[in-house]
Structure 1
Amino acid sequence: MLKAIVIDDEEKSLKTLVMILKEYCPGIEVVSEARNALEGIREINIHKPDLVFLDIEMPNGSGFEMLESLPDRNFDVIFVTAYNHYALKAIKCNASDYIIKPVDVQELVECVDKVIKRRETHSKEAPDMEKLLKSIRGKRPARLAVPTIDGTEFISIRDIIRIEAERSYCIIYMTGNRKLLLSRSLSDIEASLDKDMFFRAHKSHLVNLEHIKKHVRFDGGYIIMDDESKVVLSRRKREEFLEVMNIMTGGGKEENG
């Protein structure tokens, strides 16, 4: 049986998760609970858990900050949070999984079973980050509302290739050579989109990571999209962009040229 600690500042969420674990996960023993990062560190040091269920946004430090203070951890981490825009950062922290609240019992059971199986076989293999990323993406809002003259058009997020700021409005470039005008700032649109799917390549451009075809290092650096359009990549964004693409492609190397 694996020893587990649940760390969440929301009392109702914490108690619900503990109840679900006790009822549906017989291979897990919840040995302690914590309501913030400081309590979490203390309980981890006392109980030496095998698995930690961790919220992200908490008082006295985030879940990420808590993990950074425990660099030599030998326990698995499953993030349980109401926000899906921390997914890439969770992956960089080598999370075993990432669950969006409200917790789905079947999803939780499957996450726990994967951890138990890996630990029972003493596998040192890292979690499948590509599958984890795809799973997280499946939980995002699927459409963006765009006001039109005669109403509102609900466009599929996946159909957006890039979004370009143009003075007081933005142009949304989509698959099928479609374009839409939206009277909102790029920053406003960016805030409503999944940060694990869209990347701010430049102050005037948001690109859909799933529609990136190639990164060219020459001529100052730019991105070629699926529709063959070219988007300038800001120098200060280059390292972050390459890191994100490295995670998305499972560590693949970029092409020369």
Structure 2
Amino acid sequence: MPGLRVSGIYTDSLQALQSVSSTENIDILFMDIDMPSLSGLELASVLRAKTRKLIFTTAHSRYAFEAYEVAGDAFLLKPYSFAKFSTTINRLFAGMEQSAQAVQERDDYFLVKSKADDLAIIRIRYDEVIAFESAQNYIRIHLSGQRILTAYLTLKDILQLTAGRFEFKQFHRAFIISTWNISQIRGNTVHMINNLSFSVGDLYKKQFTAYLEEKLLTTSRK
């Protein structure tokens, strides 16, 4: 389903407890109820504060009341259809995508001091940006029209700037790119529309794979 990215799958409740407890808060936690060691209900009572939404999935309708007792947000009775799954997700997160898009539309530019222009403050629209490139103590901002602007910034500054803007991704330690401006991907190499290219770094392969899984159109033929 577009917009969802799986960050972990566990068949052992104790392993799930250890892993989820040590991570940052997550958006959705899907929880079966019949599990060894700790039941899903017991596990949910411990991990509820770590997730924004808690969805129970089980083949037993008798657990419905207990699921809501531990602040479950939804209950999917197996077997359930993709339509049911999709409806549940959209209901729980109604309006979030539209709100995020509205924020991006209102806040469509940023200002930087240009090193080459005597630190003049330059207005840049997000949709002009092809990539941010780390270059020693500076950031090169690759823009449409083959323009490059250099600013005294760090990649950490850029990560903060682009947080919440879904088109910007980091697949290499020196680049944060606008995925809107990818021209092609060949194997492990990403080519941008301005002829900039780079190989996906080992530390970023998980994020890169998740991006491909979300965006790559594949056939349903068997």
- What TM-score comes out, normalization by structure 2 length? 0.54
- Could you say which residue in structure 1 is the equivalent of 2:113? 147
The alignment status of 1:174 with 2:140, answered yes or no, reads no
Query: C-alpha displacement at 1:244, in angstroms?
Result: 2.2
Query: C-alpha displacement at 1:214, in angstroms?
Result: 1.9
Q: Aligned equivalents of 2:189 and 2:103: distance in 1?
A: 30
Please state whether the residue corresponding to 1:237 is helix, strand or coil: helix
- Could you say which residue in structure 2 is the equivalent of 1:184? 153
- Could you say which residue in structure 1 is the equivalent of 2:10? none
1:226-237 equivalences in 2 (<5 Å): 226-237=193-204
The correspondence for 2:126, drawn from 157, 160, 180, is 157
Distance change >3 Å, CA 234–CA 176, structure 1 → 2:
same
- Could you say which residue in structure 2 is the equivalent of 1:109? none
- Could you say which residue in structure 1 is the equivalent of 2:205? 238
Query: C-alpha displacement at 1:163, in angstroms?
Result: 0.8
- Could you say which residue in structure 1 is the equivalent of 2:21? none
1:10-29 equivalences in 2 (<5 Å): none
Conserved 8 A contact 1:98-1:136 = no
Distance change >3 Å, CA 66–CA 157, structure 1 → 2:
closer
**Cα deviations by residue, 1:183-205 (Å, 9 ceiling, x for unpaired):** 01011111111441211111111
Conserved 8 A contact 2:56-2:75 = no
Q: Aligned equivalents of 2:182 and 2:199: distance in 1?
A: 13
**Cα deviations by residue, 1:76-95 (Å, 9 ceiling, x for unpaired):** xxxxxxxxxxxxxxx9x944
1:114-125 equivalences in 2 (<5 Å): none
How many matched pairs? 142
Please state whether the residue corresponding to 2:141 is helix, strand or coil: strand
**Cα deviations by residue, 1:162-210 (Å, 9 ceiling, x for unpaired):** 1110000010001100000010101111111144121111111101111
1:29-178 equivalences in 2 (<5 Å): 61-62=49-50, 65-67=51-53, 69-72=54-57, 73-74=74-75, 94-96=89-91, 97=93, 99=95, 132=97, 136-140=100-104, 141-148=107-114, 149=118, 151-178=120-147
Distance change >3 Å, CA 202–CA 143, structure 1 → 2:
same
Distance change >3 Å, CA 153–CA 216, structure 1 → 2:
same
What is the aligned-residue identity percentage? Answer: 13
Please state whether the residue corresponding to 1:139 is helix, strand or coil: helix
- What TM-score comes out, normalization by structure 1 length? 0.47
| Cα root mean square deviation, aligned | 3.3
The correspondence for 1:223, drawn from 166, 180, 190, is 190
**Cα deviations by residue, 1:89-145 (Å, 9 ceiling, x for unpaired):** xx9x94444546xxxxxxxxxxxxxxxxxxxxxxxxxxxxxxx5x873342221121
Q: Which runs of 5+ in 1 are unaligned?
A: 1-36, 38-59, 76-90, 101-131
Conserved 8 A contact 2:138-2:152 = yes
Q: Aligned equivalents of 2:142 and 2:198: distance in 1?
A: 12
- Could you say which residue in structure 1 is the equivalent of 2:182? 212
Q: Which runs of 5+ in 2 are unaligned?
A: 1-24, 26-47, 58-73, 77-85
Conserved 8 A contact 2:131-2:177 = yes
Q: Aligned equivalents of 2:119 and 2:193: distance in 1?
A: 30
Query: C-alpha displacement at 1:239, in angstroms?
Result: 2.9
Please state whether the residue corresponding to 1:239 is helix, strand or coil: helix
